[in-house]
Amino acid sequence: MAGTYNICLDIGGTKVLGAIFDSKNKITYRLKKKTKADGDDSQNIEKVIISVVEEMINESGLKRDQIHAISAGAPGVVNSETGIVLFSPNLPWRNYDIRTPIEKKFGVPFYIGNDVNVGVLGEYKYGAGRGYKNIVGLFVGTGMGGGLILNGKLFTGNEFKAAEYGHMILDPEGPLCGCGQRGCLEAFSSKKGMTAYIRQQVGRGRKSMMEDQLVNEVFKSKSLKKALEAEDAVAMEAVDRACHYLAVGTGNLINTISPDLVVYGGGVIEAVGQIFLDKILAEVDRYCMPSIRSTVDLKIAELGDDSNLYGALAMIEGDKKKAK
């Protein structure tokens, strides 16, 4: 008899999150494990993934034949058809076939997609996007990721590279982005962009509660939340600037796609999403055509950190439907 449990993974640069879903799509078991993505040790991540799946099966008391499929979101350009990760900014995978070893090891189908694409799919199927058809998803984290649902399906463009909204240029003379361009949405509105702003202001001699966060590449979302609650001026400016450019970027995407929903997700939104949404809503009407604006909703993600896990589940579910 075929298994009815699905194992879903959110593969990140520093950790792997795992969840087991039962046949009613409820999470029955969770696991979180740190990865060490040193240098080019691609096999190491593969080993971590395998050990996470094994541990989840063992600890949850499931038998191998109760597993129906394994599915994952991972950062980078992921060919969902072949299971090959073409490139990842945070993982040492280049043209790396992750499907074959996982399927060989566990004897069940393995699905994989870009993490934010998958997260937006999760929101579409199980979260804030239920009932919508054309969805633009913007995920604000260390960087800025995107996802696009068109006519109820994930749209990945040519070679699975669509929805890089984070690198939309909003000011050609703006601050340098990690991608080498200037004035990308990510350079203003991601944790990286906001951290750079705070670093600059602290460097000018201004005081901020977030100074202690500057030893790392980016601040922790919780620390931003605290600083906003305390009305820390520098943190508030960083957020105002981030939301201004998010409003411009959102306006451009509304004009381009005419979606029925724009959904904001990711770690920053999970922590201070309502503040971001209110600021974006206060500005966005200026940056898109009123007739197009009138038929689009703006919402924050409902599934929080679980968007990717639910999206991974949605990939399995979508494939079951196709097979019928």
> Of the ranges 28-36, 48-56, 143-151, 228-236, which one interacts with its own copies (CB under 8 A)?
143-151
Angle at 150 between CA 13 and CA 84, to 5 degrees: 35
Alpha carbon 249 to its chain's center: 17
Instruction: Identify which of residues 21 and 188 has a Cβ nearer to its own copies in the complex.
Output: 188
- 49, 53, 163, 275: residue in contact with its own copies (rule CB under 8 A): 163
186 binds its own copies (CB under 8 A): no
d(CA 263, CA 155): 15
Instruction: Identify which of residues 58 and 294 has a Cβ nearer to its own copies in the complex.
Output: 294
Output the smallest distance, CB 322 to its own copies, in A. 15
Q: Which of 320, 291, 283, 274 is nearest to 128 (CA)?
A: 274
Between residue 76 and residue 95, which ones bind its own copies under the rule CB under 8 A? 77, 86-87
Output the smallest distance, CB 182 to its own copies, in A. 9
- 287, 301, 306, 309: residue in contact with its own copies (rule CB under 8 A): 287
Neighbours of 226 (CB within 10 A): 14
Between residue 251 and residue 280, which ones bind its own copies under the rule CB under 8 A? 251-253, 255-260
103 binds its own copies (CB under 8 A): no
Residue partners of 105: CB distance under 8 A and separation at least 6: 50, 53
307 binds its own copies (CB under 8 A): no
Pairing of strands 15-21, 5-11: antiparallel
Handedness of CA 207, 212, 218, 220 (dihedral sign): negative
298 binds its own copies (CB under 8 A): no
d(CA 195, CA 306): 25
Instruction: Identify which of residues 172 and 203 has a Cβ nearer to its own copies in the complex.
Output: 172
288 binds its own copies (CB under 8 A): yes
Q: How many residues bind its own copies (CB under 8 A)?
A: 47
Output the smallest distance, CB 166 to its own copies, in A. 8
Question: Binding mask 1-40 vs its own copies (x if CB under 8 A, - otherwise)?
Answer: ----------------------------------------
Instruction: Identify which of residues 156 and 208 has a Cβ nearer to its own copies in the complex.
Output: 156
Instruction: Identify which of residues 191 and 244 has a Cβ nearer to its own copies in the complex.
Output: 244
Instruction: Identify which of residues 134 and 201 has a Cβ nearer to its own copies in the complex.
Output: 134
Neighbours of 291 (CB within 10 A): 8
| Residue labelled with tokens 């980078």 | 76
117 binds its own copies (CB under 8 A): no
Residues counted in the chain: 324
Instruction: Identify which of residues 274 and 291 has a Cβ nearer to its own copies in the complex.
Output: 291
Instruction: Identify which of residues 31 and 162 has a Cβ nearer to its own copies in the complex.
Output: 162
Alpha helices of 114-258 — where are they, by DSSP H? 115-126, 185-189, 191-203, 221-229, 233-257
Instruction: Identify which of residues 66 and 258 has a Cβ nearer to its own copies in the complex.
Output: 258
Q: Which of 83, 55, 221, 216 is nearest to 160 (CA)?
A: 83
CA distances in angstroms from 139 to 72, 115, 183, 308, listed in the order given: 17, 10, 18, 11
Rg of the chain's alpha carbons, rounded to an integer? 20
What is the binding site for its own copies (CB under 8 A)?
77, 86-87, 133-134, 146, 148, 150-151, 155-165, 167-172, 179, 181, 244, 248, 251-253, 255-260, 286-289, 291-292, 295-296
